[in-house]
Amino acid sequence: MNGIEGMNGIAGVNGIAGMEGLDPVATFCGNCDCGCPQLFVDPAAPAERRVILTDDFGQRVQMSADQFSSLVADAKSGKLDGITTA
């Protein structure tokens, strides 16, 4: 387990179309009411699709906890810093 699984203690997002049963982990931005990108865990999904990242355009990306951990490691190491200046 990579710390992503087992987030069942956080309230889900029932009532939002297509988001039933997901456990919210983080909201990015959160300073507005515009539908900020969010990170969720789907405890019922297959392991390779358990982590879900949504954007404010209604799109979503599903990945495994290992893939997400790799993304976080790249961000922490500075590998993704150039994206913010592009």
Q: Please give the structure tokens belonging to residue 28.
A: 């990015």
Distance CA 32, CA 47 (A): 32
pLDDT at 40: 96
Residue 17: the pLDDT is 52
Q: What is the pLDDT along the chain (86 residues), one digit of tens a residue?
A: 344 433 333 344 444 556 778 999 998 886 776 778 999 999 999 999 999 999 888 899 999 999 999 999 999 999 999 988 76
pTM: 0.71
Which residues partner with 39 through β-bridges?
A: 26, 53
Predicted local confidence at residue 24, as pLDDT:
93
